[in-house]
Structure 1
Amino acid sequence: MTAEAVVSELPSEAHAVPLNSVALFGATSHCRSRSETGTPMTRPPLLVRPELIVSLAEDLSRLEAGDLDILGALVDAPVISDWRFTPYVTSSLVGAVTGHPILGDRPFVATSGLYAIDPDAGWARTLSRWYGLGRRAGVRIDG
């Protein structure tokens, strides 16, 4: 499956930039450091650990430069099967997972935000980790 085909399946809210056969994903968000009155706002709790963003950025930079050992990255990666895209603010995958370092083996999970995927090569990179891709879920048409 080409990156263009992957992108065509995404909800319109998702932004994607195809890179060769890889699709890189992200969603834009806006935040302000001051309230409407101009007074400083209290800092909200972080929704994601900064080291996850750093790890993701390093992986995406190496992926774009062609300097990433995908097979090495997938050695301890969980495998998500029956996967499909989900219409969250950022794209993610849902499916059955095996070998997840926190969740173990589960019949249904939703990943963190999806940032890169190459279905033909069998991998995906979410905010928190690499996934090997098992078989893809069949498409169902209801009604």
Structure 2
Amino acid sequence: MKTTESKIAQFIQQQHVLNLCVILANSQPWACNVFYVFDNEGWCLYFLSELKTKHAQAMLQNPNVAGTISINPKSIIKIQGIQFSAIAEQLIDNEASNAYKLYYSAFPFARVMKAPIWSLRLQEIKMTNNLIGFAHKSYWQRDEDLKNH
């Protein structure tokens, strides 16, 4: 893994809440926060969401989503965060089973929820990391070979 990739992956791995942005059927934007776990091999974020939620209904209609993961320090020199685009998918069968295992190992309390598990297959990331230097940006984009996996 390249240095930029590893720094982005490390940041994502250390966090656990993302802000997810979708487009509803009426073309209006909608955002929510979800607990996630990161699959750094497939560069996917897994989270639970019931089908009745606005964001789940939106993802079923339009799987192209965007989001952010950030920390909120008071000091500007400590700001870190990512913006991302992803393709959302409700997982089933073996993919779901593997994702649930990863998710429940991070969030054992979530076992009481009987919600579907979703994948956000990351496509593009821009990371801001002021720890490296003010307004320092790093970029990651999914390789063409990985886009269909």
Normalised to the residue count of structure 2, the TM-score between the two structures is 0.27
- Structure with greater proportional helix content: 2
Question: Which structure's CA Rg is the greater one?
Answer: 1
- Structure with greater proportional strand content: 2
